[in-house]
Amino acid sequence: MKKRSTFVTVSIIAAIGIWSAMIPEEKVLITEKEPHFVDAYIRDFTMTAMNEDGKPDYTLKAELMEHYNDTGNSDIKQPVFNFIQEDGSWLVSAKRGNIDQTSTWVVLKEDVVMLQQDAENPVRIRTSQLRFNTKTQIADTDKPVDIDQGNSVLKSNGMIFNNTTGKLELLAGVNGTYVAP
């Protein structure tokens, strides 16, 4: 009986070996990812974007812009955007930012400040991160926001700002003090 169970065991192992040798081997395709590197850069530049009417829409000044080969995105250092409107404009600055490959979405990070221009009593908005769409000119953040205008101070957890309409929506946890000018 012992010889018979040994024979069966060896036969099963041999059958598995023969069967596995007959199955074609799956080929694993290894795709190499393109290396991530800066393929172009610009130092100390000013760029002006025009609107559909051929008038300046906004300008961007920055110390450095680095464009990456694999994503098409660009990192910017010390960016300053000037959004131009007929009834005023906004200056938006940060320590760094990122522009997507279509130049539609810009994400600004670290010490983001929006400052109203051409106003007697300008509004200043500060946050740690701000995302805006250069086509629609809508900016938003879900980070804490500090807003001041003269002696009035507001705080909020997030905001949406539409530069074309001038509408500012505070999202949550709004508190502050309003002092009439």
CATH classification at residue 71:
2.60.450.10
Residue 7 forms part of a structural domain: no
**The total number of structural domains that make up the chain:** 1
Number of H helices, E strands in the chain: 1, 12
Residue 100 forms part of a structural domain: yes
Residue 51 forms part of a structural domain: yes
CA separation (Å) from 171 to 41, 56, 105?
37, 31, 21
Q: Which residue has the higher pLDDT, 165 or 14?
A: 165
Closest-CA residue to 81 (of 57, 101, 65): 57
Across residues 37-63, what is the average pLDDT?
88
Q: Which residue has the higher pLDDT, 19 or 110?
A: 110
Residue 3 forms part of a structural domain: no
pLDDT single digits (tens) 76-109:
999 999 987 777 788 999 999 999 988 889 999 9
Residue 27 forms part of a structural domain: no
Q: Residue 144: which domain range?
A: 38-177
Q: With b meaning 16 or more CB within 10 Å and e meaning fewer, what string describes 86-104? A: eeebbbbbbebbbbeeeee
The pLDDT value given to residue 83? 84
Band of pLDDT at residue 115, cut at 50, 70 and 90:
very high
Across residues 58-70, what is the average pLDDT?
91
Do 141 and 171 touch, CB atoms closer than 8 A?
no
Measured from the Cβ of residue 173, the count of other Cβ atoms closer than 10 Å reads: 11
Counting residues of the chain whose pLDDT is more than 70, the rounded percentage is: 81
Reported residue count of the chain is 181
Residue 96 forms part of a structural domain: yes
For 5, the token pair is: 């169970």
Residue 162 forms part of a structural domain: yes
Residue 92 forms part of a structural domain: yes
Given a cut of 70, whether residue 4 has pLDDT beyond it is no
Our CA angle for 47, 92, 134, nearest 5°, is 60
Band of pLDDT at residue 29, cut at 50, 70 and 90:
low
Given a cut of 80, whether residue 23 has pLDDT beyond it is no
Band of pLDDT at residue 166, cut at 50, 70 and 90:
confident
